[in-house]
Amino acid sequence: MTTPAATMPAAPATLWTPFAHAVFRAIWVAGLVSNVGTWMQNVAGVWLVTTLTTSALLVALMQTATSLPAFLLSLPSGVLADLIDRRRLLLFTQAFMAVVAAVLGVLTLTGGISALAVLGFTFLLGMGSALNAPIWQTVVTELVPRPVLPFAITLNGVSNNIARAIGPAIGGLVIAYYSPGFVFLLNGLSFLGTWAVVYAWRRTPTAVAGPAENFIGALRAGMRYVQYSPALYGVLVRTFAFSFGASAMWALVSVVVARKLHLSSGHYGTMLSWLGAGAVAGAFLMGRAGSRLNFNQRVLLGGLAFVGTNVALALFTAVYWLYPVMFLSGIAWLMVMTSFSTTVQLNVPKWVQARVISIYMLVFQAGLSVGSLVWGELADRTTLTVALLGAAGWMLLSSGLALPFPMRSGENLNLDPAGHWPTPEVQGEVDPDDGPVVVMVEYLVAPQDWPAFRQAAELLTRLRLRDGALRAGVFADMAHPERITEFFYVATWGEHQRQHLRFTKEDQAIEAQVQQFHTGSVPPHVTHFLAFPKSINVEVPMPLQNLEAQQ
């Protein structure tokens, strides 16, 4: 299988358009099978721990064991996905998880397993999933064109939720008639199936322009990009608030079924199946709601729906009333998660995509992990009802974040590299590791235009910092105030070369806003200053001395 060219679809995209791309279709089917195995594993693992211990905290820690590895490994895995061939990483992660699931299955069938051991193996599977997840999400952008991407992301959510609807039911039946050990073995086989499909994929290698990034530098670049992107950190705040409150349902629903309702694993699996069925239905409903509700409204409605979910789990005493609640919760879950994921991916260029997605997943999993611990501990110290009502209260209060942190759609952004900066004039050879580098851009701005220029320059300063600058700012010449100099300070010459490649066509509009205030007869003058090597005893120019003194 080879990756198709990402061409613009002739007709308007629909939910089914991504399936027209053969590689996406094959990987989606493989992912669906793997997701079924994962949900079977989740049900079997949680139920096995529930039967091996009487502690609600240990049961809740199953969610933590799944989520904590993502908290620890999301950032490194995102960096690796941006620096290393993604196909090879996928082959490694799928093989690793297959081995872990197989060993857990064998130990369970031979009776050599304990609650703590199940937690340990779940943590190892979580490590594999944490390494796999950013790669899996970014692969979608290579398989379909940008206009189709929101539908491809929604279909990935559908895949997970079809698996949620089918997997728990199958897992519950296998547990009831055989053993959780067989569930773990089947999960291992599902990973091997995905490995085979990825192996058959002949991915077109991505051409890397400019100096190569090292691991630490790439990690810093990803974090810096999020720090100076308001659209992204708004999503992250909302993501943590939602996942922290919603974690109560995931962590405690098995306890509700087993301890409060006194029902079997089959009912627990059925509860999760209703949740998955709701999410699948939500994918089709979102096609109609997409033109009526923006991402901000979808997340707000989904959060309010989970207020009702937690209240229902706390107060309802009949399982048949909880089934439609879980169905509606599935709709809300898909609506919120696809809104978060789509917003992130549409606001990020390819060079930093996996790193930003890994940060998003880190925040999401942190909310699940911390929330599971908090609500599980609260249930142990008080009652199950108090914990669930507390989570409902949190979800209600956090809905107010929609005002200070609105979701910003990036569907119409052009994030392709602008490539319009000329190559700097350099005498001799400059090593990419030489630095620091100061870039100065001189403008002539009339005094009456200063307020508007300053406002536009602040936006440009944010872009400089986002793309790699350690410091940036604007200064006026005290002798000639109309002469204004923009500067930005970069750690190395190689990092500045990468800045040339990171500036997007969307960013050009902000740069043009600044340059329109320039009144000179020639374009703004750009000068590059490079710090002298320490071994040469030459006086450093004053601008560099002042900057280095501030370090």
DSSP class per residue in 182-235: HHHHHHHHHHHHHHHHHHH-BPPPPPPPSSPPPHHHHHHHHHHHHHT-HHHHHH
Helix, strand, or coil here: 457?
A: helix
Residue 78 has pLDDT above 80, yes or no: yes
| Residues in Cβ contact with 408 at an 8 Å cutoff, skipping those fewer than 6 apart | 230, 231, 234, 295, 343, 347
Mean pLDDT over the full length of the chain: 82
Residue 290: the pLDDT is 56
Residue 306 has pLDDT above 90, yes or no: yes
The 10s digit of each residue's pLDDT in 358-400 is 889 888 878 888 898 899 889 989 999 999 999 999 999 999 8
Of the CA atoms within 13 Å of residue 224, those in its CB half-sphere come to 19
The 10s digit of each residue's pLDDT in 91-122 is 888 899 999 888 888 888 887 777 888 888 88
- Give yes or no for a cis peptide into 4 (omega within 30° of 0): no
* Cβ neighbours of 62 (radius 10 Å): 26
Q: What angle do CA 302, 307, 313 make, to 5 degrees?
A: 120
Residue 54: the pLDDT is 65
Q: Which two tokens stand for residue 355?
A: 């790193």
Helix, strand, or coil here: 471?
A: strand
Amino acid occupying residue 271: M
The 10s digit of each residue's pLDDT in 148-207 is 777 788 788 778 777 766 777 787 788 877 778 888 888 888 888 888 888 888 776 665
pTM above 0.75, yes or no: yes
Residue 539: the pLDDT is 46
State which of 1-15, 60-74, 276-290, 491-505 shows the largest mean pLDDT.
491-505
User: What are the strands of the beta sheet with 437-444, ordered from one edge?
Assistant: 471-476, 483-490, 437-444, 525-530
Residue 288: the pLDDT is 58
Q: How far apart are CA 77 and CA 138, in angstroms?
A: 12
Amino acid occupying residue 189: L
Q: How far apart are CA 194 and CA 30, in angstroms?
A: 5
Residue 545 binned pLDDT confidence (cut-offs 50, 70, 90)? very low
Residue 294: the pLDDT is 79
Rg (CA), the chain: 26
Q: C-alpha distances in angstroms, 249 versus 4, 161, 271, 333, 367?
A: 40, 16, 11, 11, 13
Q: Which residues are registered as beta bridge partners of 485?
A: 442, 475
Overall average pLDDT of the 58-77 stretch:
77
Residue 208: the pLDDT is 55
